[in-house]
Amino acid sequence: MESANRLIEYRCLNCGTGYPVDPFPYTCKDCGQNLDAIFDYSRIGSLWTKADLAADPDRSIWRYLPLLPVQSPPEIRSIQVGGTPLVEAPQLTGDYDIKRLFIKDDTRNPSGSLKDRASEVGLQHAAELGHDILVAASTGNAAASLAALAAFYGKQAIILAPASAPIAKLTQILQYGAILCPVDGTYDDAFDLAGIVAEEYGWYSRSTGINPVLTEGKKTVALEIAEQLNWVVPDKIFVPVGDGCIISGVYKGFYDLKELGWIDRLPEIIAVQASGSAAVVNVLAGGGNLESVVADTVADSIAVDFPRDGLKALRAVRNTGGFGIAVTDDEILWAQKELSEKSGIFAEPAAAAAVAGFVKARHSNQVSDNDTVILLVTGSGLKDITAAQRMLAVPAAVKPEINAFRQFYSEIRKTGLGV
Ligand SMILES: Cc1ncc(COP(=O)(O)O)c(C=O)c1O
Ligand SMILES: [Zn+2]
């Protein structure tokens, strides 16, 4: 199936102006807003069935090629982006007393975050347009992801990230051989600079929040969830929101499947933000237009002043009957520990925000007993162990003697730590 036949155009979600697929438009030339990839669902549906998908041995995101805005998959794709497990979490299900609870564990991607889905499709799209150099502004994960996959595909990544990003993420970027330009400013400053750089040097822009191809990559997480649940749509899905690109991708994935007639409804999509960086939740709660905030949160990946994909994020929540919820840093760090202790999954603070949002919503009866819930865990806790360490302390060393251990163990049992 040629992409030219599957992908009709890119269309502005604000003013509706349509753009041909080639030359690739990043944003609307009329109003500057973001674009949607518009597919020909009847054509796709006539050529691709659930049975075809079930027979496909490829576990990566490329099993969904007919719904992706590129011509073909990379020839060698064994690094495997996607195909992450949907982990049922019985302890959390029991403790929070709902019908079923699943963690979509996207820490299991090559660079440890969901962003690999976008980088993978972005790199292939860039290759099809003849680009060997890609530039990205990032709070850290998109950059680490682009760096990793650019290394795999033999391309050059240029990264602009806030100098304050967690050291593990900056290390990842350099380790994979990308050029890192730490920016003395916020993520928003890095974003603006990356736009100018991409323009001046003619590089492919993998900056989240403007490039519609990246939303299409991220939507594969929703396609996987639906397939893993055998096309039975969950009731609610909690998504951490920074720029709003991931949540837009989640919406687009379920939207595509509904248009194809593979699912019969959309799940409620819930936007979770840190209360120190809650531009989207503020609009959902109070109406009005998106307004910039001064982001301040431990969850660095969702520390965003102005969400570049804010309109798409609002649409995702409003069109699915979802809601927005803000969580404090304390709630995020508590949820990070709760998730690890009750599911064996170590999430970074931004990803743990989804868990915190769920806990808060359950306590306020915004989640009902009969709900099947998905928590989207978008990035690994190993990317920012300093944050997790706020909730724990490594015990003092003991002598390598049994008496020392007895003493240690009886202390631990008294204080309750570790048992
Ligand atoms: C781990 C993680 N979670 C959530 C987000 C938020 O995604 P978005 O900015 O698309 O809303 C990011 C973005 O950097 C991330 O890295
Ligand atoms: Zn427009």
412 or 401: which leads in pLDDT: 401
For residue 2, the model assigns a pLDDT of: 58
User: Helices 115-128 & 245-260, crossing angle to 10 degrees?
Assistant: 80
| Residue 195, domain member (yes or no) | no
d(CA 408, CA 419): 12
- 149: tokens are 């996959």
Task: Give tens-digit pLDDT for 309-332.
Answer: 999 999 999 999 999 999 999 999
**pLDDT above 90 (res 171):** yes
| Residue 222, domain member (yes or no) | yes
| Residue 339, domain member (yes or no) | yes
| Residue 208, domain member (yes or no) | no
Q: Output the CA 109–ligand 1 centroid distance in Å.
A: 14
Q: Output the CA 21–ligand 2 centroid distance in Å.
A: 16
For the Cβ of 246 lying below 6 angstroms from any atom of ligand 1, the answer is: yes
| Residue 289, domain member (yes or no) | yes
Output the domain CATH number for residue 255: 3.40.50.1100
Give the mean model confidence (pLDDT) for residues 69-84.
Answer: 97
| Residue 337, domain member (yes or no) | yes
The DSSP secondary-structure symbol of 236 reads E
- Terminal-to-terminal C-alpha distance of the chain: 56
Q: Which CA distances in Å does 58 have to 63, 150, 151?
A: 6, 21, 22
Q: Output the CA 249–ligand 2 centroid distance in Å.
A: 19
**pLDDT above 70 (res 59):** yes
- Nearest residue (by CA) to ligand 1, atom 14, is 301
Q: Output the CA 38–ligand 2 centroid distance in Å.
A: 15
Please give the tally of structural domains in the chain: 1
For the Cβ of 350 lying below 6 angstroms from any atom of ligand 1, the answer is: yes
**pLDDT above 80 (res 419):** no
Residue the block writes with tokens 């404090």: 328
| Residue 371, domain member (yes or no) | yes
User: CB of 164 within 8 A of CB of 145?
Assistant: no
| Residue 367, domain member (yes or no) | yes
For residue 24, the model assigns a pLDDT of: 96
Give 284-330 as a DSSP string.
HHH-S---------S-GGG--SS-TTHHHHHHHHHTTT--EEEE-HH
For residue 4, the model assigns a pLDDT of: 53
For residue 1, the model assigns a pLDDT of: 59
For the Cβ of 253 lying below 6 angstroms from any atom of ligand 1, the answer is: no
For the Cβ of 34 lying below 6 angstroms from any atom of ligand 1, the answer is: no
Task: Give tens-digit pLDDT for 175-210.
Answer: 999 999 999 999 889 999 999 999 999 999 998 788
For the Cβ of 208 lying below 6 angstroms from any atom of ligand 1, the answer is: yes
Range of the domain at 90: 86-112+214-389
Please list, residue by residue across 78-106, b when 16 or more beta carbons sit within 10 angstroms of its beta carbon and e when fewer do.
Answer: ebbbbbbeebebeebbeebebebbbbbbb
Percent of the chain clearing pLDDT 90 (strictly above): 92
What number does the ligand 1 atom closest to the CA of 246 have?
10
